[in-house]
Structures are given as C-alpha cells and as structure tokens.
Amino acid sequence: MEDFVKKARTVALLGFVFGVLALLIYSRIRAYSLAPTLQPIDLRGLPWWQIPIAYLWDYISHAWICLLFAFTFAGLFSEFIPKHVVTKYLSSGGIVAYGFAALIAPLFTVCSCTMIPLFAGVVYAGGGIGPAITFLLMAPSANILSIVVTGEILSWELAVVRIVASLISAVVIGVIVSKLPWSKKFEEQYTPTKAPAVDIEKRPLDERLISALKVSKDLAKRVLPAFVAGLIAVSYFEAYFPETAVATYLTGGLGVVIAAVIGGPLYTPTLVEIVLGKALVDLGMSKGATLSWLMGQPYDVPNTISAARIVPWKIVLSYAILALIFSITSGMIYGLLVNSL
C-alpha cells in the first residue's frame, strides 16, 4: 500500500510539472499574450484608487503562466543540481571553471544578495576570485526566472540579448579582476584543496519533487510580496510620470548612461526591475537604455555591501565599476544595432 501511495504521488507531482510546461507551450502555440496590455493613457483615465487594482489584475491575468513556470522550474533546478557539485567545478580552475560558472549560474533563480553564500563557498574552496565573480554576476542578471519574465513582459529579443551580454560581461569581468594585484594577493590566502568525497543520499523521486516544489514555494513567498508592492508603485509611476521626461533622459547615449547608473544603486527586488523597465519602455525608453537598466542588478548596493564581507573592498569596487562599464557598452552597442538608442 505504501509503495502504491509513493507511485501515485510521484505520478501526480510529475503530472503537475508537465502540466505547467504544457501550459506555457500551449500559450505560445495560441500566441496568447503573457504580457500586460494596459497602457499609460488607460491608467490615467482611472480614479487614483483603481489604478493599482487594474494594474495588478492586468498583470496577474496575463503573466501567471510564465510566473508559475519560472517558479516551478527554479525549484526543480535547485533540487536536482547539488550545490556541492557546483562548488567543486567552480573550484577546478581555468577555462572549465569560467565556462561552468557562466552556464550553471542562470539555473539558480535568486537575487544578487542571496548568491553571496555560494560566492563565499567558491572563494574559500580555493576556486579563484575570477570564476567566483563570474558566477556572482551571472546569476542575478540572467537566471531562469528573470529571463522568462523578461521575454514575456518585454520581448524575447531583449531576453536573449540580456543573456548574451550578461554572459560576455560576467566572464570578461571575472578574468580581468582575477589579474589585478589586490585580487592575486587575496587569492594567496586560499589554496585549492582536494574536496572530500561526499556521500549522496539517494532519495525517492517523489520526495525530491516535493522538496523542489517547497523551494518554489519558499522562493515565491520571498519574491512575490515585494513584487506585488513593486507593481503597485509602478502602476502610479506609469500613470503619472511624464513621458517627456523619459524621452529626454532615457533615450540617446546619455539615456543609456543614466539607465546604467541608476539601474544598480536604485535597488529593486527580483523581477521588479523588469516591471519598472516595462513601464519606462511604455513611456518611451529606448531599447539600448532598457538593456543597460536590466544589467544593473549585479552591482546594486546590497550586493556590493554583502560581497565586501567576503572579499576586500578593492575587489568589490573593481567588479562593480567594470559591470557598470559593460552595462553602458552593451546598451550602446545594442541600441545602435537595432536603431533604438
């Protein structure tokens, strides 16, 4: 009887996972818009108290499929990709470490601050400051949750460009910072050691799926309250912020620089940067400035303060300044290529 219950539970859990995936695929086949449809002019015509209600309903009714998919699969990735394996390969050194850092980081759906423990683990394991920084920068800017929501809310073109730009900048910044004298001095404190063998307990599939969905639930509980609060704030921003100000300050080369500069220090919780970016796009922000805006999260203030507890301030300021430069450069190049600077 117990065996039957386990099998039934496994089938039910797998059915839920594949059902979520099928929902996303079906929405794409039917060309159902997962992005909100309300425009600033629609919001301005509403009484002030109705604006956040209409805005929230518009988002929930359109974006729930992509959010459900993103949270569900974020939990699956977290459960089925052991963190000790991540630390092991990031500590292997050389090209393998950088490549692994860039490719595995997007599977960890967390904001920049919650990457700090993994960042510390890589550094203390002797993996080198370069791969550790690549991992730290790549995860918050191009994780599965932010990419799916960017694709559905803004555009898949921008989502793909965000991945490519984030990957290039994270790897190059990691390499550059690793060559700096203060980074080399810091690395001398930690020498790679052979990791002890780790006995992996093989749990039943149903238990692992339940653990994965618990991670999804915990992630949603951590992200969604701030996300909803952000939506409410953005609803008023989109309704009342003058379009002329966006057209003046968030277009052209200066607009790219401003977007990059405020995109980091103006810290927003995970996903809120996308919602606010969508509001700014609706008000006239260029594509180049939008990319620079989205690439600001890895050098936000909480990230740099937390990282400075692990490595010296010189290293933190080095990668933050380089990330800002790459954010501006990426926005400029993208804006010129698509004629939307």
Q: What pLDDT does residue 81 have?
A: 73
pLDDT value, residue 169? 95
Closest of 284, 287, 246, 283 to residue 40, by C-alpha: 283
How high is the mean pLDDT of the chain?
84
Q: Are 100 and 89 in contact (CB under 8 A)?
A: yes
Question: Considering only CA atoms, which of 273, 284, 288, 299 is closest in space to residue 330?
Answer: 288
* pLDDT score at 192: 53
What is the residue whose two structure tokens read 């790897």? 171
Q: Give the distance between the most distant pair of CA atoms in the chain.
A: 69
Q: Which two tokens stand for residue 246?
A: 């966006």
pLDDT confidence of residue 289: 96
Residue 279 near residue 234, CB atoms below 8 Å: yes
Residue 139 phi/psi, 5-degree rounding, is -60, -50
Looking at the predicted structure, is the pLDDT value of residue 241 above 80? yes
Enter the tokens of residue 32. Answer: 């159902």
- Residue 201, sorted as left (phi over 0), alpha (psi -120 to 50) or beta, turns out to be beta
42-51, 75-84, 125-134, 213-222: lowest mean pLDDT where? 75-84
Whole-angstrom Cα distance, residue 114 to residue 238? 29
Give Cα 266 distance to the centre of its chain.
16
Residue 113 reports pLDDT greater than 70: no
Residue 304 has pLDDT above 70, yes or no: yes
Average pLDDT over residues 287-316: 86
Stretch 100-128: mean pLDDT: 71
The tens digit of pLDDT for each residue in 70-97 reads 888 878 877 887 767 777 777 666 788 8
pLDDT score at 109: 56
- Give the torsion through C-alpha atoms of 284, 290, 296, 297, to 10 deg: 90
**Where residue 22 falls among pLDDT bands split at 50, 70, 90?**
very high
What is the per-residue pLDDT for 237?
87
pLDDT in the model for residue 268: 62
Between CA 287 and CA 292 the distance in angstroms is: 9
Per-residue pLDDT at 158: 95
Q: Are 129 and 183 in contact (CB under 8 A)?
A: yes
pLDDT in tens, 248-267: 899 999 999 999 988 876 65
Q: Is residue 111 over pLDDT 60?
A: no
DSSP letter for 200, please: P
pLDDT for res 336: 96
Band of residue 306 on the pLDDT scale cut at 50, 70, 90: confident
Task: For residue 340, give Cα distances in angstroms to 193, 253, 286, 293.
Answer: 49, 10, 5, 14
Q: Which of 181-185, 188-192, 296-300 has the lowest mean pLDDT?
A: 188-192
Mean pLDDT within 17-42:
81
| Domain segments of the chain as ranges | 59-193+201-337
CB atoms within 10 A of CB 117: 13
Average pLDDT over residues 40-59: 91
Are the C-beta atoms of 128 and 104 separated by less than 8 Å? no
pTM of model > 0.85 = no
User: Which residues, including other chains, have CB under 8 Å from residue 210's CB and lie 6 or more apart?
Assistant: 9, 13
Measured between alpha carbons, how far is residue 193 from residues 35, 116, 132, 184 in Å? 48, 21, 16, 17
**What's the CA gap between 47 and 51, in Å, rounded?**
7
Q: What mean pLDDT comes out for the span 54-62?
A: 88
Among the listed ranges 154-168, 188-202, 261-275, which one has the minimum average pLDDT value?
188-202
